[in-house]
Structure 1
Amino acid sequence: MRKLRAAFRLLPSSSNGVRAGLVAAALALGLAGAPAQGQDMAGVTDSEIVIGQSGQLSGPLSALTHEVRLGASLCFDQVNAAGGVRGRKIRVVALDDAYDPKQAADNTRRLIDEDKVLALFQYAGTPPALAALPIAEARGVPFIAPFTGSDALRQANSRYVFNIKAGYAAELDATVKQLASVGISRIAAVYLNNPFGTGGLAAVEKSVKAHNVALLAQAPLEVDGSKMADAVAVVARQSPQAIVVISAGKPSVDFVDAYLNAGHRSTFYMLSAISNAQLVQALGERARGVVVSQVVPSPWNLSMPISREFQGLAKARGLTEFTFSQMEGFIAARFLVEALQRAGAKPTRASLVQAMESMKSVSLGGYPVELSASQHNSGKFVDLLMMGRDGRFTK
């Protein structure tokens, strides 16, 4: 299938081991070494700043990626309408990878070599992000706020990757701890059959030991939804009190739907990589009781300046339905804009990295960011919310 290009101009464990694996991948791709001369000046003209992105513009995870990009566009539109960052408008070049790591790697080379982007922003999904990072690192291109909680990205010890939200391990540990606290001791886990899912499963296996919870069954999920009946059967045989769904987007909802349609009952716990709107649309009243961990403030929490800002811009755009995924995209964009403001009169890749490392204690409308030259991972916020009767989350 021909590569889909959606370029849009937005107006108004051992960290050393993980890093070694990434560098080895870069060497295998023939990319390792210092950034090419002049590359650090890429992506900036007198009138614009060009940012690159690879994500799921098509395929089963596209709805979730759309929400994240929509949230980011609210911020970029506002900044551009006010004249941009130091007089330069932000232009995002977005390419479709359909959750295919190879396509994400190809997109990354294209964004760096042909589009000459200043930075790579909010890549969606663990496998695509892991495929792109060695290329970004070898070329010296900042890799900013990927839409994944992968611990591999947080342990990479990379000079160029910056995370501003809690990772999946923190979400899953909070989930298992909550289960133990309410007396649930017999659980199962289903997980996407890729590095995202297996990494999350490893985190659950560690947490159940720490909190004295029994993991009775575990079953893989395929991104395309195949073998769903097998996963349902493996889990249902153990009649778990709760099921932890280590998945994103449509496969998560499809498992719950298949499990309930087969006549089984349980309580479902999901990661932040699921849309509240998607849950309600697919499951209706059956979404009630599903628990989802969240790593950004609620878009309905008007006591926080960042949420009030998000709501104001969303309503001005005509949006009436808010999601946590939109909110995450919005916060990531606010972070990027703040970094660009700090990166100097003519930002370069090097000055952008230094700008992010200077954000030692920054509040983005009440959302804290704490980064430094030795710490590229910020974000400790994790909240567990249950879907209520009216399709809204409650504590």
Structure 2
Amino acid sequence: MNDHTVPAVLFLNEPVKTDLYKSLEKKYGMFNFRFAKKEKTPSEQQRDFLNYIEQNFYPSTEYKLEALYLGYSGFHPMGDGLTEELIIKYQQLQFLKVITLCSRGIDKVCVDYLQEKYNTVIKNYDDNESYVANDVADCAMYHVLEGFRKFSYQQGKLRDILHSEITRGYLRGDQENELKFCFGHELQLLTEQKNEIIINEQQNDLNQSLEYLEIKNETTEQPVDVIQYMYTNSPMNKKALIMGYGKIGQRVALKLKYGLSMDVSYTTRSGERDEVEDSLRDIKYYPWGNWNDDLSQFDAIVLCLPLSQQTKHLINDDFLKKCSRDQNDNLNHLTLVNLGRGMLIDWENIPEYLVKDRIRHIGLDVFYNEPALTKECDNLNEMNSSITPHIGSSTFEVFNRSSEFCLNLIKDTLG
């Protein structure tokens, strides 16, 4: 091996340029590679990456690639990611001492092979101070509160009307000229504007028959089975079930209990937790797998589960019907929030009417075919849903802390 090689760090995402970064910059070769955002297939992205490492690292140059900073996106653009086959084929990848990710999950990296063959250190952000859990729980509390109070839906109408009293009346369904007092707790069923395209014939000045398109706007009230009016409700003393009870689930429990004054229970595949902090001791355990009519007691269900064979499509047609309080499958009391993984919900096989007409609210921060929004949004609207673009932990504090964690790991590993 060349004795004059220089250890190098390759960044696939931009780190925070702190003093720690600057100290690494003085000691190691610092390289940056960015996957193309658009118009590249996974195989093309892979080819770009491999070309880059071939051209920039030992034995082609003096810089020996010893550390990979994957940030948040990691090798996702490459499809299969950093596979064993690629490492065997490309010598430049065989000197890796450390791979680190800012996110809470490691995938698209052949962890076992790298650790066993090369003793590579592979770690993601260790959320010891629970910043990620806390901020994701904030997102959960937002969606749960939206389910009860519908603040965003009302805000949207107020921005259009710019008059608070008229807005409350409009949301209740009052006519424009009605001036009776409206308290603001009643929400009329959502109205939809349909564009009907009609082909008409018209004679022009030359007596020639012309076809033209007439777009006729018609606003109609959609028949909804939920209730004639939806009321804004207080979450106080309502029952919530948290599915998944790791750091995030526990933080959600605290926020719902002490922030929204809810009656909180939890369920987890590993069973009842014996060791929890004092503030969580009175959070009740609900037996995992007990998916019967007892689910109907809960006004809110929050998913904080990882994706596995046991949890994929856990929330399906049968599960939701077990949550109903009457024979008509009405879920007009239920707020369902997903912070875990999009595939926890079997969108393909849940009947349209359950989502469109009979559930009170669905809050989503994760999606089935992420990053695209497809199946889950077909039957959701501003009144019965709230969606956020997977930003549960997307705060300045988490970004900075995760970056500093990864830079420290590189420093400690490379020496």
State TM-score, norm by structure 2: 0.36
- Name which one, 1 or 2, has greater alpha-carbon Rg: 2
State TM-score, norm by structure 1: 0.37
| The structure with more strand, counted as a fraction of residues | 2
